[in-house]
Amino acid sequence: MGPRLSLEEKRKRMMDIFHEMPEPFLLKELERIGPKQKGIVSQSVKDVVQSLVDDGMCHCEKVGTSNFFWAFPSEAAVKRKNKMMQLEKELAQMQAKQKELVDLIANAQLGREHTEERGYLLEEMTETEALWNGQQEELKQFKECDPVLMNRKREEAVMAKDAANRWTDNVFIIQSWVRDKFNMDMGEFNKFFGIPAEFDSV
C-alpha cells in the first residue's frame, strides 16, 4: 500500500490524467484509471474531480444521462494569455490616470502656493502610483512589460495563437467523439454547448 496522498497531490495527479489523455471521461472511468495509473483511491476520485470542477480547472457537461469530465493542456495557456491582457489593460489605465494627475498638479503649481486642491491631487497621485506599481509587480511574472523582452512577447503571442488553435482542435475531437458514440447531429451538439456556427481555428 502506497503513502497517503494529500488532496492537493490527488488533484495534481488527476489533472495529469486529463492532460495525458485529452478526452472526456465518465466518472466510473476515472474511478478505474485513478487507482491504476496515479495511485488515487477510487473512493476519493469523485470528491477530487468535483473540487477541480468547482475551481474551474476541469469541465463537467451532462450529455443525456451521463456526466463527462475533461481538461485540456492548451486551456492553461489561454488563461495565462487572458490574464496578461487584463493586467496590461489595467496598467494602461493606471498610466493614463497618473499622467492626468501629473498634468493637473503641474497646472495647479503655476503661480500658486500650496492649496487644499493641490494637496488632494498629490494624495490621489500617490495612491494611483501605489496601485500602478502593484500592477507592474504582478506583470513581472509574465515578463510582458519589460522592453528588453518585447521580442519574446511577440513570440509568446504566436504560441498563444497556436494554443488557442489546439484548444479548437480539442473541441472538434469532442464533437467527433460525441457524434460517433451518441449518434448526435453536429448542429444539435453546437446548440447544446453554445458553440457558434462560425467557430473555427484562428
Q: Which three cell numbers stand for residue 140?
A: 513581472
- Residue 176: φ, ψ to 5°: -65, -40
Structure confidence at residue 47 (pLDDT): 93
Q: Which pLDDT does position 134 carry in this prediction?
A: 80
- pLDDT band, residue 90 (cuts 50/70/90): confident
Q: What is the mean pLDDT of the chain?
A: 78
CB contact at 8 A, 91 and 136? yes
Return phi, psi of residue 99, to 5°. -65, -40
For 73, the grid coordinates are: 493542456
Q: How far apart are CA 123 and CA 108, in angstroms?
A: 14
Residues 126 and 120: beta-carbon distance below 8 Å: no
Q: Are 39 and 58 in contact (CB under 8 A)?
A: no
- Average pLDDT for residues 147-153, to the nearest whole number? 64
Prediction pTM value? 0.38
Asked if residue 112 has pLDDT above 80, the reply is no
User: For strand 59-63 and strand 25-26, is the pairing parallel, antiparallel, or unpaired?
Assistant: unpaired
Identify whether the C-beta of residue 18 lies closer than 8 Å to the C-beta of residue 70: yes
pLDDT-derived band at 2, boundaries 50, 70, 90 = low
66 has a pLDDT exceeding 60? yes
pLDDT in tens, 151-166: 676 777 777 777 776 7
Which pLDDT band holds residue 118 (cuts at 50, 70, 90)? low
Give me the pLDDT at residue 50, please.
92
pLDDT of residue 144: 52
